[in-house]
Chains A and B, each alone.
Chain A
Amino acid sequence: MDTEALLECVTSLSCLVTQTSTGLIVGSLLFLVATGLTLIFGVLGIVNFAHGSLYMLGAYIALSAFRLTDSFIIATAVGAVGVGLFSLFFERFFMRRVYGADVLMQLLVCYAFILILDDAVKIIWGSEFQSMGMPAYFQEPPVFLAGGVIPVFYIYLIGISATMAIGLWLLLNKTKIGKIVRAAAVNPSMTSALGLNTSLIFAGVFAFGGALAGLAGALAAPVRSMSPGMGFSILIESFIVTVIGGMGSVSGALVGALLIGLIRSFGSIGFPFFIEGVMFVAMAAILVLKPSGIMGKEGR
């Protein structure tokens, strides 16, 4: 543990800016994936173990779209929408059948899809890792703020994630759709009795959650190499985020993701060999002190 280096960093403005922005970058993508996961859990009450594969699918679809159009914006949109549509198919034909089933059955269905999607990616895009490359308009020198370094692309990425976070909050708290979704999450039977099609709500939420994972994959494509099975590591981190933030809480996912991002960022200076450990310690501490997570509600 290098406390001296950590202290030196937090007292240096340039280091503070660089590491904080790094924490935001790591947290931004994590938030998009984790928020989809937590939204699906919050409304449908199921843990989508195949969520990491949706992130992978988003990255690959965006890659193909980028190669066709040479536009990163279109590629990102196609990645998100494509995965949203796939998620809809996945929910309608498979997940819907195991809503009331044992968690092991849900795990089995998801695991089957993880394997199927990994192999499908291998068949369609090949087993070699691939890279989209940085779009021309982001190939700019990094921005220097108070001596700290922030890449232009990452400013864009943080901006998108922040917009999504605000948009989601508004959608869930200030619109009729949001009210319906929250009602279906709290009491689906009552919502159904009021004449609302809960099955359709569930399908929509699952597709939207999947689209968020696809969006994260598409946004990561210029800087993260793609290979079959790439969704696994982000799935683990997303679980940590949802546990810390509170299962089912979108604002909790934001807090959890930023916390993990900052732990990773400053941890690389203060305790470089124990970053993963600190993440799990944080999760364990939350589970002990507030089992429902920072923003989670007791009982469901």
Chain B
Amino acid sequence: MQKRSQAIASKQRRQIITGSATAVGLATIGMPSISFAQNKPIKIGMPTILSGRVAMLGEASRNAATMGVEAFNAAGGLNGRPVELIIRDSKGRPDEASRIARELVNSDGCEMILDAEASSGAFGVHEVARDLGVLVMHTCSETSSLSADPKMRIPNGFRAARQGIHDAIVGGDYSGKVAKEKGLKRWMSISPDYSYGKDTTEEFFEYLKYFNKDVEVINSVWPKLFQADYSEPITRLLQGKPQAIYSCLWGGDLTSFIDQASIYGLMKDRQFFGVNMADYSVLTAIKAVPPNVHSGNRYLKSIPKTPQNAAWCDAYMAKFKTMPLNWSWQNAVGIEFMLTAIKKTNGTDTKKMSEALRGMTIKSPFGTNGEITMRALDNTIIDYAIAWGDIKPQEPYMPNPYIGNWKTILELEKQWMIKKGFIS
């Protein structure tokens, strides 16, 4: 009996020694690897445009996303795991954007994509996300169909960017009122000759006519994207003798057009409605902002006029020595949604994060009421500040903004979606 109990004790001792040795072994070999895994950064891939004529899109996007990630890491990351942005330049080539997105996931080990590509590249990146099943957050594409069209939609695809249809509704509402006040009946447009220009112009006029039935669109001119000389479209506009002109030209194209139109006297005694005027890149580049110019806000420090927005703008300015642009706030919102979802799900699982993101509301300096929601219906943001107003040549560039009413926007958007066959 004693021998048996000694044998049991001996066996237990061996087990204890073996167990201890295993524990020591794990402590010396295994634990560092566990510790390493815990501190391994969460990689977020970011395809964007960092060279060529639209490099400012990539730089403004990168700046804002970096600010968000740095704040997240400074606050401890995800239980000590920092987030790392892996940024690649697509040079504005759609095929390159898709290739890079795939490479970021397959070769660089990125667990999700912050897609800061323009619409031309975003649709390709969207398909890569569909194919690989990774979470994608689009932050620069404003083409409505990217998220509105159910055929395009994927459960792991989200958009944190303004939508053309939202801008069109508010723009139509505001411009319709101005047209009534000033008796503007003859309208023409000048917009870039590609899908964004065509869709945005069509949607704007649709809602302008909805809010003001007296408006007549005489003609439209379509200069190509990045056209350097606008002499011929300007003379075409002069021949048409419109009372008001709408444009969704943007960036350097808009600046060139305004500079050239001014010397032709096109802006004199005419109202100009340029949806993309109120962005610092344009406002600071145009040396003499002509009178009678109206715009939608892209990004302005004063819209929404809150201490949070002003503070974010100041912090951005202090860090990058340049003013934030439309793409900046969109990327700030996009990365914030992603980081909040990472925190909320305590990990990077695509399915869990996607579920968390659908319908999520975050506090944001760019929200109409301090909040932005990722609408569950189509994985796109709503409640962000949209305003239109007349433009002055200095800060605040839009002193009397007409803030878009989201109740109206959502009602009209719903009708638009039904008409398009996106919802029944």
Contacts and interface: CB of A to CB of B under 8 A. Distances in A.
A and B are partners in one complex rather than unrelated chains: yes
Interface string A186-211: 00000000000000000000000000
Interface stretch (A41-49, A173-181, A226-234, A246-254): A226-234
Contacts of B285: 128-131, 225
A57 interface: no
Interface residues of B, number: 39
Contact of B228 (A127, A134, A153, A230): A230
Contacts of A132: 287
A18 B53 contact: no
Contacts of B224: 276
Interface in A95-126: 118-119, 122, 126
Nearest to A29: B229
Given A225-B259, A228-B52, 7 more contacts: A127-B58, A129-B56, A134-B263, A142-B263, A223-B256, A224-B229, A227-B252
22 contacts: A18-B235, A22-B231, A22-B232, A25-B231, A26-B232, A119-B51, A129-B56, A129-B255, A129-B281, A131-B259, A131-B285, A133-B286, A149-B235, A151-B264, A154-B231, A220-B228, A223-B256, A228-B52, A265-B232, A267-B232, A268-B233, A272-B222
A122 B231 contact: no
A234 B226 CA distance: 11
Interface in B240-278: 251-253, 255-256, 259-260, 262-265
B322 interface: yes
A94 interface: no
A73 interface: no
Contacts of A19: 232, 235
A269 interface: yes
A175 B316 CA distance: 59
B259 A268 contact: no
Interface of A: 9, 15, 18-19, 22, 25-26, 29, 118-119, 122, 126-134, 138-139, 141-142, 149, 151-154, 220, 222-230, 233-234, 264-265, 267-269, 272-273, 275-276
Which of B56, B222, B288 counts the most chain A CB atoms within 10 A? B56
A270 B263 CA distance: 24
A198 to B, nearest CB: 36
Which of B58, B238, B251 counts the most chain A CB atoms within 10 A? B238
Contacts of A275: 232
Contacts of B178: none
Given A130-B285, A230-B228, A272 B56 contact: no
A146 B228 CA distance: 28
Contacts of B264: 142, 149, 151
Interface in B369-383: none
B268 to A, nearest CB: 8
B239 interface: yes
A228 B288 CA distance: 23
A208 B53 CA distance: 27
Interface of B: 50-53, 55-56, 58-59, 221-222, 224, 226-229, 231-233, 235-236, 238-239, 251-253, 255-256, 259-260, 262-265, 281, 285-288, 322
B134 to A, nearest CB: 28
B219 to A, nearest CB: 9
A217 to B, nearest CB: 11
A264 B263 contact: no
4 cross-chain pairs, A with B, having the tightest CB-CB distances, nearest first: A133-B287, A129-B252, A225-B252, A268-B232
Given A127-B55, A276-B224, A153 B263 contact: yes
A126 B285 CA distance: 13
B225 to A, nearest CB: 10
Contacts of A226: 252
A163 B256 CA distance: 26
Contacts of A228: 51-53, 55
A240 B229 CA distance: 16
A134 B259 contact: yes
Contacts of A134: 259, 262-263, 287-288
